[in-house]
Each structure stands twice: as C-alpha cells, then as structure tokens.
Amino acid sequence: MKQEPSAPRQKEPAAERTQEPLASLQYLYGKPTAKAVFKRLPEDFMVDEELGFELDGSGEHVCLHVIKRGINTVNVAKKIAKFAKVAPREVSYAGQKDRQGVCSQWFSVPVPIKQELDFSALNDEQIFVAKQVRHGRKLRTGCHKGNRFTIVLREVSEPLAVLSRINAVRQGVPNYFGEQRFGHDGHNLVMAERMFAGEQIRDRKLRSMVISAARSYIFNQIVSLRVAEHGLAKTLQHEVFMLSGSNAFFTDAITPQNITRLVEGDIELSAPLVGKGDKGLVEEEQHWLQPYHDWCQGLAEIGLKTERRMLRLYPENLQVKMPSSDSIELSFSLKKGCFATALLRELVDYRQCENSIARSHDEDIAEQ
C-alpha cells in the first residue's frame, strides 16, 4: 500500500546549519549512555592507509610511505615539495589524514628517472619516511582501498555499556560525514552560507572545502531523516542502489532479486550527494530535501552533478581490547571516504581532548 506523504517540511533556519552540525543527527541504536575521552594522546588515534594495489617499482614518480604525527597531510606535502624542488601542487596523495593522530599514508612526487633523492632527510619529530618506491603514475585522490584504524578511548564511564553495543555496530551504522568535514565549530558551513548568499571565495582550495562541507551536511541530514522514519533495515518502495566498490548507481523497485543482491553485498542502499538535476532521487528523498532548497540550488548552479554515497558504514574485522579497567581499544578497517567517528558516536558519547581541539583550530586559522 502506498504511503501517504507527510506534511511539507519547513525550511531549516540557516543558523541551525552552522552550529554543532552533528549534534542533532539521529542514532541508529539510541544515544549511548557511556562517556569517554578521545584523542588525549596522538597515539590514541592511529590510521594506516591501505592502497590496495602494488607499486610497479619504476617510473617518473616517487611514492613515499610516510608516518606522520601532529601534522596535517597538506603540510607534509609542502615539505616534500620543497625538498624535491617542485610546486606543492605536484605532490599528490590518496586522501587526507587527521592532524591529531599517528597516521601512515602514501604521497607521490615527480622525480626525473636519472635523479635520485633520499627523502629520509625529511625525518623529524613529526615525519618519518618509512619507504620510497618509484611508480609510473602519480597517486590520485581516492585511489586507495581504505584505512585501518586503531583507537583508544580513555576514562570510559561504563565500559560494559560500550562493549554491549559492539555486536550491533558490526551490522553497520549510518555513514555520516564526520565533524572534520565541517571545520572547527562548523566554520566551513558558516562560509557556505555566506558563499550561497553571494560572497566570493577566491582561494580555490578553501572554496572546494566549503562546497564539500555544504554537500556533506545535506547528506547527513537526509540519512538522519531516513534513520528517524525508517531506520536502515526497512527499504522504500523504490531505492537507488549503488554497485559495491563503484560509484555507479541505478533506481529500481524492491524485488526478491535485489534483496538477494543486498544480502550478498553486490549492491548497497544509498543516499544523495546533491548536485544539478534530480537524477536518481526517489520521491521521498525529494521531500526530505525541501528544507535545504537554497543550498541544493546553490550546489546545482556551481555545476556539481548528483552523485550517491552508501547509506550504511560497515566496519571490517572489528576487534576490541581493554588495556585497563577504564580504557577500550578498537581496531577496524573502513572503506575510503568513511569516518571512524561515525562508528564511535554509536558506541560512546565521546569528548575530544580540549588541547588537541585548540591546536587544530589554531593551525587551521593559520592555513586559511
């Protein structure tokens, strides 16, 4: 039986979009009661990038496996560029990693075949070049398979309450974009509001970050509305499916064949990354997007095409340890583009260490 549409949603006040952008998002398993401290030490958040392919060992690009601590990806790339005497834009990487943590990732930089550089000269208290390998192509954004995380939560108020949720989150959590996407105190969303009101952002990198933040915010809201009204298990009459491991998507009815493909992991449910046109938007999603019409229109005018992102995040090989009576260590892998904090928020009401937030904010301001 066809569900009657609910009353039209009111336009969301702009001010609510720029304050604590994750605070109002729905929890799939209810808000956790346990509390914990996150990122007290850099070693409490460790990330290992998984390329998922072999480097060929020859070519005009040198790929560097870098372990960094307390420095962001962009600043590492600048140091590599200066050492290799190339423009910063010539240094590429698969994805950005958090400043506040110990993270390993791959960079590539063009170096003539007849020239040999020893990048271990860059090693200091923030950077360690673990390996350098030649490759025929530069690394491009998103070329990696995913990331392996090791996270330590400290001062956990109710360890058993956290552990009792582990099996639930193994079944997946809402694939929200994390707070890093929106800047300190939602600063990127404040700038998005000004940009859509007509203010020009001349810095291309900053403009790209602001556009991405706006699009990610809308995605989060749509996922949250779906969780509130349907959860993530119930399917709509028509769904937009994504092919697993691909950005390709298609709209189809819920059929026994599609249910089988979902169970087998061949296809996944998705939510929209809005852009130009309504391709791939089902009726209920169009209804949910009404309060964000102004931002959707702004993103369309920029020329972005409508894309999709998987609705649910699945942690792979999730393992748990208790180093002490009030600390919990989690290790798991996520596909590229997924945020570990989306998993954490379903497990525990965490508080990020104030010192790390302040350092991050000060450096972000300096870079902008």
Question: How far is Cα 274 from Cα 219, in angstroms, rounded to an integer?
Answer: 8
**Which entry of 44, 56, 98, 266 is annotated as an active-site residue?**
98
Question: How far is Cα 222 from Cα 272, in angstroms, rounded to an integer?
Answer: 8
Active site (annotated) includes residue 185: no
Is the CB of residue 34 less than 8 Å from the CB of residue 157?
yes
CB burial string 267-303: b at 16+ within 10 A, e below: bbbbbbbbbeeeebbbebbebbbebbeebbebbbeee
Structure tokens belonging to residue 57: 């060992």
Is the CB of residue 273 less than 8 Å from the CB of residue 134?
no
Q: Report the first-to-last Cα separation within the chain, whole angstroms.
A: 53
Question: In the sheet that 238-243 helps form, which strands lie side by side, from edge to edge?
Answer: 249-253, 238-243, 267-273, 307-310
Longest dimension (CA), the chain: 70
**Phi, psi dihedral angles at 168 (to 5 degrees):** -65, -50
| Enzyme catalytic residues | 98
